[in-house]
Structure formats: structure tokens, C-alpha cells
Amino acid sequence: MPDKVAPAEHQVLPAKAKEQSVKLKKELGLLDGVSIIVGVIVGAGIFVSPHSVLDKSGSIGFSLIVWIFSGLLCLVGALCYAELGTMIPKSGGDYAYISDAFGPLPAFLYLWVALFILVPTGNAITALTFAIYILKPFWPDCEPNYEAVRLLAAVVTCLLTAINCYNVKWATRIQDIFTGTKIFALIVIIGAGFWHLFAIGPENLINPMGGTNTSPGYIAVAVYSGLFSYSGWNYLNFVTEELKDPYRNLPRAICISLPLITIIYVLANFSYFIVLTKQEFLTSTAVAVTFGGKLLGPMAWIMPFFVACSTFGALNGAIFASSRLFFVGARNGHLPNAIALINIRNLTPMPALIFLCIITLALLIPKDIDGLITYVSFVEAVFITMSVSGLLWLRYKRPDLHRPIKVFLIVNLLLLLLLLLLIITYRVFSYLIIRRNIFLRILF
């Protein structure tokens, strides 16, 4: 290891060494930026979350409203992050913004929560979804074997970590290829759904608002499930230092990616509802496979294949982007210095990638994926709220900072208000559920 790694730029080095310090290269263009955002977002979420969104929202119509609302919320958030990313052009995303706005202690806390909860849990869910869909054809009438799913998820996590350790170009090439594949998969779902609509009719869409759940707590959980499917919209901010001309390419990549994904997600869910009844939807452990089995006949095998490609690409993008967060944190002294080392031959943050892989493998064990989704989305919302608050604070504290992009103040305030409302509603809902369960246990 000593002959293959070197200190990263910004570590304390002698003057001559600073001139020769090893740093991450600017290799990512606009297409790569769009590919990373689309590749990370379109992954496990669109194939796992629809079940939870429908279950908590209660009706087909309201679940579609949740998908649209979640997409718009993420678009507004992404625009705020575009201002942050061009104002503070550092890798690390939320970590860098919280640090600049509120100091090292909140940034330190965010980094450790991201290290052990946010990032590896999201990666674990994506890897598990990949494994479930690959193995589903071998267990058509029940859930795939627990051990087989975990083993395959561990193998794909280690494989993609090795690829990202070896070469940035390989990682981005994989991202570009699988981004195209996953978009094609969703287009197939949308096309098949609309073909069924015109051929059979909208029999499953009669009374779309029937059964709508009006409980604020359940609505908040439904939105969190929807937001999980858009999780990753801020990942490009993790690799700002590797982005060519970030002042132009960062906002452009965001404005291209988020509206495109929102439209595709809403149409994909609409297609699910055209083909599947509400009961079929809620009892399915793999919605896309059930959809394919009912509509595609002998070609149903392509759905598990497409989902596997989608989650494979999403996991690759998440590993690539999130490892830079821990690299930057270690470079600033908030994680062990070894994680801030860069492989000299490949110029990749190899120790950060390996460390992330180890934590992800440990989080493959839990069974309750829906619970993990809600928990991760809640914690992520808390820190996004901190970053948006930091944006407002920096406008007051540092009006002199260069801002190539400046979002309207009302947009920032609206986003902050919605995030706070979601957080408070979910916490009150969780508290009431816990109290109810304790009361029932006392009675029975």
C-alpha cells in the first residue's frame, strides 16, 4: 500500500510537496454529470418504493400526486444545491456546505451519520434490490432465499467497489452504459402500460381516489417513500472538484435530469396501475416482475434483467460519488487520515472506497427494506434541511461570496418550510405509533 497511495491535496505538506501533491482529476463533463444523476436516482427506488407509496397513500390517484410532489420537491432542492455547489465548488456535498455555513462540528456529525447510516444503507438497499430481482425467477411464488439474496448483494457490492478502485473512466463508462439501459427499461414499462390501456381499457383506474388516506402521518411516510426513489439528486455535488466547468455543467445537469426523471417516474407508476389491480400491487414483492409476468408473457424475463441493470448502474454511481464524501471528510481531519489517501497509479480514493464497502456489507443483514427506506429518507431530510438553512444563513453572513446562480428567496423559504413540516409530522406520527403499541402491550 505505501508505494501505491499518496496524500491528497489540502493535507498539511511541505511547500515543495504541495506543488507535487496528488489530486482527483477533472474528467467529468455535462453528459457524465447527467449520467451520474440519472444513474444514481433511477435505481432501486422506482422498483421498491411504489409498494410503500401506494400502501401509505391509500389510493392510486393520491399516490400519483405523491410522486409528482416528491419530484417537484427534489427539483427545488436541486436548484438550491446548484447555488450551493457553484458558490462553494468543493467535493463533499452537504458536508462541505454545512461546514462552511455552521462550522466543523455540525459537519463532523453529518459525516459520521452519512458514513454509518445514510450512504451505506442506501447502497445496501440498492444491492439487495438487484439481488432480489435477479433471483426472483428462481423463486416465482415466494420471496427469494434470504442467504442467496445477501450473498449476491455482497458480491455485486465488492465487484463495483473493485471497478471504482481501479479506474475512474471504467466507472463512468459503466455508468453511461447502464443509465441508457435503465431508461430504456422504464420506457418499455411505459409503452407496455399504454398499449394495455388502449387495448383493454382503464378498468383499474375507476375511482382513482377511492381509499385515500388523509392521516398526516401516513402522508408523510408516503412522501418519504417517494423521496427515496429520487434519492441521489444531490450526488453530483459530491464530485464537484472532478467536474469540468462546474459553474455551467452542475446547474445544467440538474435542470436536464430532474424534470426528465419526474416525468418518467409518474408515467411508469401510471403504467403499473393500468396493468395491475390495487390488490396485486400491494401483495407483490417485486412489482416490475409481476407487471412483466401479467403483460409480457414469454418475454417476462426481460423485466428482472432490466431491473438488475438499473440497480447495478445506480449502485455503481452511488459508490463512485459517495466515496468522495468520505475522502473529503478525511482530508479535513474528520475521519482517519488513511481514508484521505489516493492511489497513485489510478488516482482513485481507494481507502475511502474500501471502507464504504465494508460498512455497506454489514448493512445487508436487516430484513425490513421498507423500514430502512423510511428511516434513511427521514435522516436525509434532516441534513438537507440543514444545508438549505445554511444557504439562507450564508446569504446573510457572507453576501460577498460569488454566486453564479442565485435561487429566488421565496423558493428557499418554501423548501425549508416543506422539509420542516415533513420532519415534524413524521416524528409526531412515530411518537403516537410507539405510544399506541406500548398501550396495546399493557392491555394484552
Q: What confidence category does residue 10 fall into, taking pLDDT thresholds of 50, 70 and 90?
A: very low
CATH number of the structural domain spanning residue 437: 1.20.1740.10
- Residue 17 domain-assigned (yes or no): no
Report in angstroms the alpha-carbon separations of 365 from 118, 128, 134, 168: 16, 10, 18, 29
Q: What is the per-residue DSSP string for 91-139?
A: TTTHHHHHHHHH-HHHHHHHHHHIIIIIHHHHHHHHHHHHHHHHHGGGS
Confidence of residue 266 (pLDDT cuts 50, 70, 90): very high
Helices 60-87, 409-443: crossing angle, 10 deg rounding? 130
Residue 3 within any structural domain of the chain: no
Which band of pLDDT confidence, cut at 50, 70 and 90, is reported for residue 239? low
pLDDT grade for 3, boundaries at 50, 70 and 90: very low
Q: Is residue 14 domain-resident?
A: no
222-232: pLDDT as tens digits:
888 888 888 87
What is the identity of the amino acid at 314? A
* Model confidence at 356: pLDDT above 80: yes
Question: For position 129, what pLDDT does the model report?
Answer: 85
| pLDDT tens profile 319-343 | 887 787 788 788 888 888 888 888 7
pLDDT band at 182, cuts 50/70/90? confident
Q: Given pLDDT bands bounded at 50, 70 and 90, which one contains residue 2?
A: very low
What average pLDDT does the segment 392-411 reach? 87
28 or 37: which carries more pLDDT confidence?
A: 37
Backbone angles phi, psi at 243, to 5 degrees: -95, 130
Whether 5 is in a domain gets the answer no
Which percentage of the chain shows pLDDT scores above 90?
A: 13
Residue 145: the pLDDT is 86
**What is residue 360's predicted lDDT score, i.e. its pLDDT?**
92
Per-residue pLDDT band at 431 (split at 50, 70, 90): low
Joined together, the cell numbers standing for residue 342 give 489516493
* Amino acid 443: pLDDT: 44
pLDDT above 50 for 299: yes
Q: How confident is the model at residue 65 (pLDDT cuts 50, 70, 90)?
A: very high
How many angstroms separate the Cα of 231 from the Cα of each of 176, 183, 275?
Answer: 19, 16, 26
- Alpha carbons 4 and 354: distance in angstroms, whole number: 15
Single-letter code of the amino acid located at 54 = L
Within a domain: 4:
no
Answer yes or no: is pLDDT of 11 > 60: no
CA distance 373 to 125: 8
The CA distance from 221 to 377, in Å, is: 9
The rounded percent of the chain whose pLDDT value lies above 70 is 87
Whether residue 208 contacts residue 63, with contact meaning beta carbons closer than 8 Å, is answered with: no
Q: Is 138 left (phi over 0), alpha (psi -120 to 50) or beta?
A: alpha
| Structural domain boundaries, residue 76 | 26-443
Asked if the model's pLDDT at residue 18 lies above 70, the reply is no
pLDDT at 188: 86
Beta bridge partners of 6: 342
The answer to whether 125 and 40 have CB atoms below 8 angstroms apart is: no
- Let me know if residue 9 belongs to a domain: no
Q: What pLDDT score was predicted for residue 302?
A: 82
Q: Which of 4-18, 308-322, 353-367, 409-423 has the lowest mean pLDDT?
A: 4-18
Identify whether 220 is part of a domain: yes
| 394 in Cβ contact with 100 (< 8 Å) | yes
Four-point Cα dihedral 375, 381, 382, 388, nearest 10: 170
> Which pLDDT does position 19 carry in this prediction?
42
More confident residue, 168 or 187: 187
Q: What digits encode the pLDDT tens for the residues 403-426?
A: 888 888 898 899 899 888 888 887
167 burial (CB, 10 Å; 0-12 / 13-18 / 19+) is middle
376 vs 165: which has the higher pLDDT: 165
Query: Residue 333: phi, psi to the nearest 5?
Result: 85, 10
From 150-159, 167-176, 252-261, 313-322, the region with the lowest mean pLDDT: 167-176
Q: Band of the pLDDT at 27, cuts 50, 70, 90?
A: low
Q: Which candidate, 342, 337, 357, places its Cα nearest to that of 157?
A: 357
Q: How many structural domains does the chain have?
A: 1
* Tens-digit pLDDT profile for residues 103-134: 889 988 888 888 888 888 888 988 988 898 88
Among 68-77, 272-281, 324-333, name the one with the lowest average pLDDT: 324-333
Q: How many CB atoms lie within 10 A of CB 249?
A: 20
Computed from CA positions of residues 208, 211, 217, 218, in that sequence, does the dihedral angle turn out positive or negative?
negative
Containing 207, the helix (H) or strand (E) segment is none
CA atoms within 13 A on the CB side of 151: 6
In this structure, is residue 20 part of a structural domain? no
What pLDDT, on the 0 to 100 scale, is given for residue 361?
Answer: 93
Mean pLDDT score of the chain? 80
Is the pLDDT confidence value at 13 over 50?
no
Give the chain's end-to-end CA distance (angstroms, integer): 59
Residue ranges of E strands in 258-326: none
